[in-house]
Amino acid sequence: PQTVYLSDYKPFGWRVEDVSLTFRLAPEATRILSRIRFAPDPAAPAQDFFLHGEDVSLIRATIDGAEVTPEITPQGLRCAVPEGAFTWEAEVEIAPASNTALEGLYMSGGMYCTQCEAEGFRKITYYPDRPDVMATFSVRIESDLPVLLSNGNPTGSGDGWAEWHDPWPKPAYLFALVTGDLRNHPDTFTTRSGKEVALNIWVRPGDEGKCAWGMEALKKSMTWDEEVHGREYDLDVFNIVAVDDFNMGAMENKGLNIFNSAAVLASPETATDANFERIESIIAHEYFHNWTGNRITCRDWFQLCLKEGLTVFRDQQFTSDLRSAAVKRIEDVAQLRARQFPEDQGPLAHPVRPESFQEINNFYTATVYEKGAEVIGMLKRLVGDEAYAKALDLYFDRHDGDAATIEDWLRVFEDATGRDLSQFKRWYSQAGTPRLSVEEAWDDGTYTLTFTQVTPPTPGQPDKAPQVIPIAVGLLSPNGDEAVPTRMLEMTEGKQSFAFEGLSARPVPSILRGFSAPVVLERDVPAEERAFLLAHDADPFNRWDSSRSLAREALIAMIRDGAEPDATWIDALGRVLRDETLDPAFRALMLGLPTQAELAQVLHEKGVTPDPDAICNSTEAMADAMAKRFEPMLDDLAAQAQVDAPYAPDAEQSGKRSLGGAVLALRTRLDGGAAARAQFAAADNMTLQLSALTCLIRAGEARAELDAFHDQWQGDRLVMDKWFGLQIAAADPAEAPDRAKALTQHPAFDWKNPNRFRAVLGALAMNHAGFHHKTGAGYRLLADWLLRLDPLNPQTTARMCSAFQTWRRYDTGRQAMMKEQLERIAAKDGLSRDTSEMVGRILS
């Protein structure tokens, strides 16, 4: 396969003035007529006229009305063209019903839908399918299905047809079309300049009752972007469609967002609090793309983080404004450490702005998205909130309508603030997680912190230069008061000291408050000092992190040295739990132990080979010790977690329910499942039902409840995904591979549906000790299914190969077994470009 390099970027050579498309839809033979006006790009004239096109049959093509015979390749076509402007017309045929890759135009549950990001439009017709070619689109859809949707505003419709026009120039990856027998959940929104926008959520018949939350989230997002960034919506209508078969979460097509149904449909009976929160943030994310992504798009796919990092950062801010900022930050950092750190410290490590790829779909990663958002957070911390707002205004002013680059983005900040960001830019070009170590000195009223940063080598990048690291530090007095409030230290060198003067006593430092930079902080902090910070730190993130670190260290001592659970930490945690002034959601987070994968990650960072069974056993023993120790206060905590009002998925109620869930998990270790069984029987919402079921599965006591749950929910696809996933994710590791294997034989295991496939095989990969079962059964099962899915759906297959990315850190026996499976996949004839790139990188 061919490798594409950032450094090879060249403009297309023509501008596209206008595109008009006619779709005559039929499952096996859809005809698409295109009429495209091309004009030479005076800034970048080119010789070679090449249009992308894959899996499309050309019926005929004309230039200015005269028939032409282009040279067709598997990637597209080449054609001789006139010197000036010209009109290209083509008729092609495609087969949406046979499109199992879910990229381009495909069918799902009787409806037609599209997914064009990143390079799916070329499977619809011949076109310069690159984000820097922007054009206005007019679309005519001919079909006898009742609902016919495309981008922009509706311009006409009649029996069996509809027409749409999108006045905003856009790249082809934002094109969308949906046709089906759909039901509508309508609403309206009036923008602050008084324009009325029709809002619709379109779903399959029967799902109408699951749209209200998504609609509320959409209206909140529209208001937030007006209030915070002055960004208004710019069309007469905003459509969202829920689709069952979808490779990702959702897609920000202009005026026609298409969502995985799991990322939009919710009702209290069928969705958990966590589902509701996730839906709210994905709706916001896709809506925010209207400005950061659509009005300002990316010049090429290497700039993906320009829209994704920024839009994730925006949706994170939205959630922290609507809910609890402290809780949101803790959740985001926990996710970053769980998903991005392993990527950044393994064979798949790549810069936030990658410099080469074979298949761009493999770069929709935690690094581009989540680390990309962290980089923007750092920029905001370094320049300050006011300058950040000013720079964003300038970005929207200067680049509206552009296909922009990271250089453009940074120049806006340089121009708005006068700062030189050339060193900051290394965050975009250097892969790997910097490690930050700290030494402290105390001398006569002056306290000095000396930091050293080291970024380990990553594939293709043996040497790293120092990065700018904003380090938020506060100092506590011995009595726990804030002696020096949070100060943003700006580290620019490999080793650098910062002094705090005029202190009356040696302080205790709280370092990297709010997780001010995506680094690993390496500091051997005495347990008493962590316990002190756990009790007194004014920064909620660091308070949580102190507890997390204590738990981590206690668990590592158990895993490595067979130590007993650390009673000192458990007692310190108990004092926090008893503090009723603290948000229940925060207390629930404090009760959560590090995941087993995180412990494996930390052991690896310490140079220790992780033993999945020991990690699992120690975690169990720790949770048992916590349950015993906290037993006297469980009743009180459960009472504080009680919700008396009607169900609402807001921050307050969901915080209480998550504390209640954590308490129930502890209680189940003491009562054999009695309380969980009662909660399961009485539950009138999915959060309570599922938290009870999880406890029972972990206790090995869930047979009857799993059957009851199945019977109750077998008609609901999204709830059945939970039924499949949970009994694997929460299974006893010794049984997880067999359980997963048995479920792949279940009649409802529709493996061609990405949600169902992930529910089973993804859940197996999430059961750390189960996936790493010493027989290798977990590895074999996953590889079997990846091999089976690859010819149908390369994108989802490739994404799930990352379960193997940490293979080198385990013992030689497990390494050999994982390697064998990876090599078995790599050796498969006709393996997709997606999967072959992923497996190749993982093995390299």
Q: Which amino acids are annotated catalytic?
A: 286
- Write down the least CB distance from residue 289 to Zn ion, Å: 6
Half-sphere exposure for 207 (CA within 13 Å, toward CB)? 25
- Write down the least CB distance from residue 258 to ligand DPP, Å: 10
Q: Which two tokens stand for residue 694?
A: 């999880």
**Per-residue mark of binding to ligand DPP, 274-293 (x: CB under 6 A):** -----------xx-------
Task: List Cβ neighbours of 440 (8 Å cut-off, separation of 6 or more).
Answer: 447, 448, 449, 450, 509
Nearest to 310 by CA among 400, 398, 221, 395: 395
Burial (CB < 10 A; 0-12, 13-18, 19+), residue 1, is exposed
- Write down the least CB distance from residue 113 to Zn ion, Å: 18
Give 38 or 318: the residue with its C-beta nearer to ligand DPP: 318
What is the total count of residues that contact Zn ion (CB under 5 A)?
2
- Whether omega for the bond prior to residue 118 falls within 30 degrees of 0, making it cis, is yes
381 binds, among ligand DPP, Zn ion, none (CB under 5 to 8 A by kind): none
d(CA 278, CA 261): 12
Contact 785, 761 (CB under 8 A): yes
Give 363 or 647: the residue with its C-beta nearer to ligand DPP: 363
251 binds ligand DPP (CB under 6 A): yes
Half-sphere exposure for 332 (CA within 13 Å, toward CB)? 28
Nearest to 721 by CA among 277, 212, 240, 270: 270
d(CA 656, CA 308): 32
CA terminus-to-terminus distance, the chain: 16
Give the three-class secondary structure for 417.
Answer: helix
Give 18 or 300: the residue with its C-beta nearer to ligand DPP: 300
- Write down the least CB distance from residue 253 to ligand DPP, Å: 9
**Per-residue mark of binding to ligand DPP, 114-133 (x: CB under 6 A):** ---x----------------
Number of other residues whose CB lies within 10 A of the CB of residue 792: 15
834 binds ligand DPP (CB under 6 A): no
**Per-residue mark of binding to Zn ion, 259-298 (x: CB under 5 A):** ----------------------------------------
Give 21 or 118: the residue with its C-beta nearer to ligand DPP: 118
Half-sphere exposure for 346 (CA within 13 Å, toward CB)? 26
Contact region with ligand DPP (CB under 6 A), list: 30-38, 125-133, 246-254, 662-670: 246-254
Distances (CA, A) of 714 to 274, 663, 722: 21, 29, 11
What is the total count of residues that contact ligand DPP (CB under 6 A)?
8
Contact region with ligand DPP (CB under 6 A), list: 189-197, 245-253, 447-455, 696-704: 245-253
Q: Which two tokens stand for residue 18?
A: 């206008």
Give the three-class secondary structure for 748.
Answer: coil
- Write down the least CB distance from residue 308 to ligand DPP, Å: 6
Contact region with ligand DPP (CB under 6 A), list: 223-231, 248-256, 333-341, 645-653: 248-256
Give 308 or 553: the residue with its C-beta nearer to ligand DPP: 308
111, β-bridge pairs: 108
117 binds, among Zn ion, ligand DPP, none (CB under 5 to 8 A by kind): ligand DPP
d(CA 366, CA 348): 11
- Write down the least CB distance from residue 795 to ligand DPP, Å: 10
Give, as ranges, the residues between 300 and 319 that touch Zn ion (CB under 5 A).
308, 311
**Per-residue mark of binding to ligand DPP, 301-330 (x: CB under 6 A):** -------x----------------------
Nearest residue to ligand DPP, scored by beta-carbon proximity: 117
In 330-390, where do the E strands start and end?
Answer: 356-357
350 binds ligand DPP (CB under 6 A): no
d(CA 12, CA 275): 42
- Write down the least CB distance from residue 264 to ligand DPP, Å: 13
The site for Zn ion (CB under 5 A) is made up of: 308, 311
The site for ligand DPP (CB under 6 A) is made up of: 117, 248, 250-252, 285-286, 308
